[in-house]
Amino acid sequence: MKKIIIAAFTFLSITATAQQKDYTYYKTIAVGDQSGWDYVAADELNRNIYFSHATKTLVASMDNDSLVGEIPKTFGVHGIAIDNELNKGFISNGKANSVTVFNLKTFAVIDTIAVNGINPDAILYDEYSKKVFAFNGKTNNVTVIDAASLKIVASITLPGKPEFGVTDLKGKIYVNIEDKSELVQIDAVTLTVLKTWTVAPGDEPSGLAIDRANNLLFSVCSNKELIVFDIKKEKVIDSIPIGGRVDAVVFDPQSKLIYSSNGEGNVTIIKQQSISSYKIVQTLTTQKGCKTMMLDSKTKKIYLPAAKYEGDTKKILPGSFEILIFR
């Protein structure tokens, strides 16, 4: 009898996986202007999600899907990093060459730090080293900030233009080098570059995600390829086709889904069946320009900044900026 029960349970588990529900449109958060945008970041502890928006950073609640706050004067904002331990957020201001530090609960600005580089783009908080890494796109370097003292403690020279970074939470930082089609490994303690690898056949990598349990990196590239890189083997082990104009990728370790947000107007959703096996399970239609996104790991909703454009141009129509939610 036990064997029959186990077999039945296994069959039901496999069936549930095979019948995984497709994402569909859920809701729109209307914002109503025509400014641009870049990265999205989630504060899972406080249940807030942050959207970069040209000269300001918008805050929405992930529980009621409505705007709850705003951090002004973040000129040329690109990314947002979260430090829950110290209740601090960090915003990279590309046009101001600075990092805005703010309170995660009140959204009040704590400090503004001038970086030792030009155009801070992606930004990352590393829980292991307790440091913030601001990746400067026009000077090919990283400004490293101590999260507690808010002092700059180092500048790391990179071999090319950094695009996005992730941490393994064990002392290593990984960053895409867009103009060289490379991955760089940084020691989070010594603050030095350890290794550089190619992501070929990927070209011009932008978004980067990490599977910490299996030591894998997922790098999305402009030639419509998602690259699977094995850190231990130090090589690319797979390549999966995705959409065009990609700029972000998210990996959910619970569902084993990888989301690639493509500015051509869709999200490629890929199932990690094993470390070496991947399957596209859905191509979700979104909207032209939806190149960045974030996942709420609790509800599995995905959030994408969007706007409507004038014909086939890149000119945003007045009052059309919005946040699309799918679940």
pLDDT tens string 107-144: 999 999 999 999 999 999 999 999 999 999 999 999 99
The conformational region for residue 119 under phi > 0 = left, psi -120 to 50 = alpha, else beta, is left
User: Is the pLDDT at 225 greater than 50, yes or no?
Assistant: yes
User: Is the pLDDT at 160 greater than 90, yes or no?
Assistant: yes
> Residue 16: which pLDDT band, with cuts at 50, 70 and 90?
very low
> Residue 19: which pLDDT band, with cuts at 50, 70 and 90?
low
> Residue 9: which pLDDT band, with cuts at 50, 70 and 90?
very low
DSSP line for 235-291: EEEEEEE--SSEEEEEEETTTTEEEEEETTTEEEEEEEEETTEEEEEEEEE--TT--
* 96: phi then psi, degrees, rounded to nearest 5: -95, -5
Distance (Å, whole) CA 149 – CA 152: 9
Mean pLDDT, the chain, rounded, equals 94
- 146, β-bridge pairs: 131
Classify domain 73-198 by CATH architecture.
7 Propeller (2.130)
Provide the 3-class DSSP secondary structure of residue 231: coil
Distance (Å, whole) CA 88 – CA 240: 36
Q: What's the pLDDT score for residue 162?
A: 98
Average pLDDT over residues 189-201: 98
pLDDT tens string 21-68: 999 999 999 999 999 999 999 999 999 999 999 999 999 999 999 999
Distance (Å, whole) CA 143 – CA 245: 27
The answer to whether the beta carbons of residues 54 and 307 sit under 8 Å apart is no
Q: What's the pLDDT score for residue 97?
A: 98
pLDDT tens string 247-293: 999 999 999 999 999 999 999 999 999 999 999 999 999 999 999 99
Q: What's the pLDDT score for residue 13?
A: 41
Nearest to 192 by CA among 212, 178, 172: 172
> What does the domain layout of the chain look like in residue ranges?
73-198
User: Is the pLDDT at 3 greater than 80, yes or no?
Assistant: no
